[in-house]
Amino acid sequence: MSKIIASCKDIIKTFNSGEAEVKALQGITLDVYENELLMLVGPSGCGKTTFVSVLSGLLSFNSGVCKLMGENISAMNDDELTTFRGKNIGFVFQAFNLLPSLSAIENVALPLTVASRKRAEILTLASEMLEAVGLSGKEDVKPSGLSGGEQQKVAIARALVHNPKFIICDEPTSSLDHKSGEIVMELLQKIIKEKGASMIVVTHDNRIYKYADRIVHMEDGKIIKVAS
Amino acid sequence: MFKIAVEMLMHDKTKFLGLLIGVAFTAFLVTFAMGYFAGFMTRGFALVSENSSAKVWVMDPAVSSAEATINMSDSSLDSVRGVAGVEYATPLYLGDVTARYANGHFQSFQTIGVDDATLSGSPQPANLLHIPNSVIIDSGGTEGKLQTPLSKKDVWSYDGSHLQAPTRELRYGDVMLINSKRVVVAGVSHTIPRFPPRPLLYTTTSNFKRLIAGEKRYITFIMVRPVKNITPKELAKRISQKTHLKAITSDDFKKETVMWFMINSEDVGDMVNMVVLAMLVGFGVTGVMLYMFTYENLKQYAVLKAMGASAKQLGDMIFTQVFISAVVGSGIGIGIASLLAQIISSPTFPFRMMWFAPLIGFFGVIIVSMTAAFISLRPIKNMEPAIVFKL
Ligand SMILES: Nc1ncnc2c1ncn2[C@@H]1O[C@H](COP(=O)(O)OP(=O)(O)OP(=O)(O)O)[C@@H](O)[C@H]1O
Ligand SMILES: [Mg+2]
């Protein structure tokens, strides 16, 4: 049995939008293990994004316990949580979310810059990472000059450059064509296996299910099935 | 992080330019309005500035401005001269006259009568006033008011006024009538324009009394220079005590005059209101623009926060961006204001760039910008970092 990297118990999250109350998560319990690639699937609006937001400490929740690397995130204040997240979690988004004003390498370097690492170190790590995703030569190109697939590769490099233990990807392939999606998934799989990190991939795309170690099915804010 | 902040700021060139223009506009407005205001005010005490060697001014105790005056008795001059510490004291006579021009037109002048012996208070060359019945005239900030007929046939014509006759500027040798008495223009001076603008007419005391006859009291001001070892302040105090007249230093007199304008002049009140309104609008626009800029980049800040950027780091970024916009923008604005000031400053357009005008423009913008930055911190602090997952 491998080590648990993230563990959630009875997570409940409701949104109050206007007069209506949306029960986005209705008691989610899930462990994520070291070194696994876990996929989170389910119909639109079932609470997948809400769940990974909670799991990464980006969203507060009503009740339940969420532990990351053994630490209870509800016990941390905003600054502690931010630092913790900066150190231990990497993100890949459907919309890439690269900073449009920064070059590819500057975008990749962001988690290191934010952590005030040394300049030389930042440069080496960022260019190594950019090379690892197959984008050497594009260091100084701004996101607007890159294709969608290339932008997502930059985002992946950014998610991994600081060696996080836990990587969260929300629909990483939805904005990409099939071929780019495959390339991105292969890249993600390869790199996390190399680095020994864990990863949650939220997806609609059943063509990439084959990369999963486990698939968690959600519906209406609940986990209805976990398949290996 | 500094570099990221700067690149974020400059990324969208149009937006950045818009921001700079907004800030520059405010700085320009504030600096320019202040310069304009200062210009008016310095003209308000032109008479005092013109007689810079008079360090102490003596007047009726009720007078509190170089503009609104009442006269003192002729004996007051001797009283002042009798006070120890007075090196010299010369009278200044102010009055209003209406002059008839050679074509039949008339024009009112402020008449300034200066001491016959010393001619102090007259524009140079003052000794022109020794010519009998002579005056030195001055536009005093007006335009086109000192005109006389171009051709001989329209001058004092036997068949009455030639009001439509073509004219030229008055000059040496031209003749006018004041209270049916003949005066000769001995010179045209260009002293400090007045506020409100009005043509001026300098002459000797004796000529002044000839033109404005029958008054009991003539002396409006007594200009005093202290001897070496007494300060103007001390002497002013001493004169007040000894003579029961009001004596103040020229600096205080300028300040009092400005105050008097602020309180008593409707024009100035309107101007101040306009300046304040312009500042408020400018400040409001700048603040809102800076706030909008941060607000539009909220998602980028959320991404940074997701990657571990602390509240302090994000705050520093915002302050960096706002500070750069404020400094560059106000630099441009103040630059344009000074440049424009050089170009348009003229007798009819008072403009005076006092040392504090650009400073107030600059610090005004900085304060507003910093306030905007502080307000911009709120949405950043309150943002739900989970918006990073939203498309
Ligand atoms: N900030 C919010 N305020 C109010 N309601 C929200 C908010 N975010 C999500 N919801 C609601 O919570 C529910 C779950 O949303 P969530 O985004 O987690 O779904 P999802 O499974 O990620 O869907 P999709 O596959 O479309 O991305 C939805 O009903 C959604 O409308
Ligand atoms: Mg979603």
Q: What is the 3-state secondary structure (H, E, C) of B116-142?
A: CCCCCCCCCCHHHHHCCCEEEEECCCC
- Are B124 and B247 in the same domain? yes
Helix (H, G, I), strand (E, B) or coil at B304: helix
Provide the pLDDT for residue B349: 67
- Are B128 and B190 in the same domain? yes
Q: Which of B8, B311, B389 sits opposite A101 (nearest CB)?
A: B8
Better pLDDT: A38 or B278: A38
DSSP secondary structure letter of residue B154: G
CB distance from A102 to chain B under 8 Å?
A: yes
- Are B313 and B196 in the same domain? no
Q: What is the pTM of this model?
A: 0.76
Residue B355 has pLDDT above 80, yes or no: no
User: Of B383, B331, B357, B336, whose CA–CA distance to B30 is shortest?
Assistant: B357
Q: Name the pairing type of β-strands B181-189 and B175-178.
A: antiparallel
Q: pLDDT digits over B160-171, tens only?
A: 888 888 889 889
Give me the mean pLDDT over the B235-249 stretch. Answer: 93
Q: How far apart are CA A102 and CA A154, in angstroms?
A: 12
Provide the pLDDT for residue A1: 55
Q: How far apart are CA A115 and CA B160, in angstroms?
A: 94
- Are B115 and B250 in the same domain? yes
Name A90's bridge partners.
A167
Q: How far apart are CA B261 and CA B253, in angstroms?
A: 12
Provide the pLDDT for residue B41: 81
Q: How far apart are CA A172 and CA A92, in angstroms?
A: 6
- Axis crossing angle, helix B266-296 with helix B13-44, rounded to the nearest 10: 160
Task: Return the ligand 1 atom nearest residue A50 CA.
Answer: 18
Which run of H or of E encompasses A54? helix A48-55
Which of B216, B241, B264 is where one domain is finished?
B264
A43 CB within 6 A, ligand 1: no
Which segments of B48-206 are extended strands (E)? 56-59, 86-100, 106-114, 134-138, 147-149, 167-169, 175-178, 181-189, 200-204
Give me the mean pLDDT over the B48-65 stretch. Answer: 91
CB distance from B310 to chain A under 8 Å?
A: yes
CA distances from A48 to A51, A67, A80, A218 (A): 5, 18, 25, 7
Which tokens hold the place of B126? Answer: 């003052």
Amino acid B244 reads H
Separation in Å, CA of B280 to nearest CA in chain A: 33
Provide the pLDDT for residue A177: 86
Q: Name the pairing type of β-strands A89-92 and A166-170.
A: parallel
Separation in Å, CA of A157 to nearest CA in chain B: 13
Which of B213, B234, B264 is where one domain is finished?
B264
Which residue's alpha carbon is at the smallest distance from atom 19 of ligand 1? A45
- Are B8 and B121 in the same domain? no
Separation in Å, CA of B354 to nearest CA in chain A: 41
Q: How far apart are CA A115 and CA A124, in angstroms?
A: 15
Domain boundaries, position B243? 47-264
| B348 — pLDDT class (breaks 50, 70, 90) | low
Residues of chain A with pLDDT below 50 are: none
- Are B281 and B343 in the same domain? yes
Which of B241, B264, B287 is where one domain is finished?
B264
- Are B106 and B251 in the same domain? yes
Q: How far apart are CA B247 and CA A202, in angstroms?
A: 87
Provide the pLDDT for residue A60: 92
Q: Are B255 and B57 in contact (CB under 8 A)?
A: no
Amino acid B168 reads R
- Are B223 and B76 in the same domain? yes
- Rounded to an integer, what is the distance from CA B10 to the centroid of its chain? 39
Provide the pLDDT for residue B347: 58
Question: Of all residues in chain B, what percent carry a pLDDT higher than 90?
Answer: 40
Q: How many domains does chain B have?
A: 2
> Which of the residues A53, A94, A170 would you substitute to probe the B interface, choosing the one with the greatest number of B C-beta atoms within 10 Å?
A53
CATH topology of domain A4-227: Rossmann fold (3.40.50)
* Residue given tokens 């950019």 in the structure block: A130
Provide the pLDDT for residue B359: 86
Provide the pLDDT for residue B34: 79
Query: 33-72 in A: which are within 8 Å (CB) of B?
Result: 49-50, 52-53, 56, 58-59
Question: Of all residues in chain B, what percent carry a pLDDT higher than 70?
Answer: 98
b/e per residue, B247-275, with b = 16+ CB within 10 A?
A: bbbbebbbebbbebbeeebeebeebeeeb
- Are B74 and B21 in the same domain? no
Q: How far apart are CA B138 and CA B186, in angstroms?
A: 11
CB distance from B184 to chain A under 8 Å?
A: no
Provide the pLDDT for residue B38: 79
CB distance from B311 to chain A under 8 Å?
A: yes
Provide the pLDDT for residue B261: 84
Tell me the average pLDDT of chain B.
88
CA angle A43, A19, B376 (to 5 degrees): 90
A49 CB within 6 A, ligand 1: yes
A24 CB within 6 A, ligand 1: yes
DSSP secondary structure letter of residue A212: -
| B346 — pLDDT class (breaks 50, 70, 90) | low
Provide the pLDDT for residue A215: 95
| B113 — pLDDT class (breaks 50, 70, 90) | very high
Which residue's alpha carbon is at the smallest distance from atom 28 of ligand 1? A45
Which tokens hold the place of B169? Answer: 């500027």
- Are B260 and B303 in the same domain? no
CB distance from B308 to chain A under 8 Å?
A: yes
Tell which one of A28, A48, A206 to mutate to probe ligand 1, the residue whose CB is within 8 A of the most ligand atoms.
A48
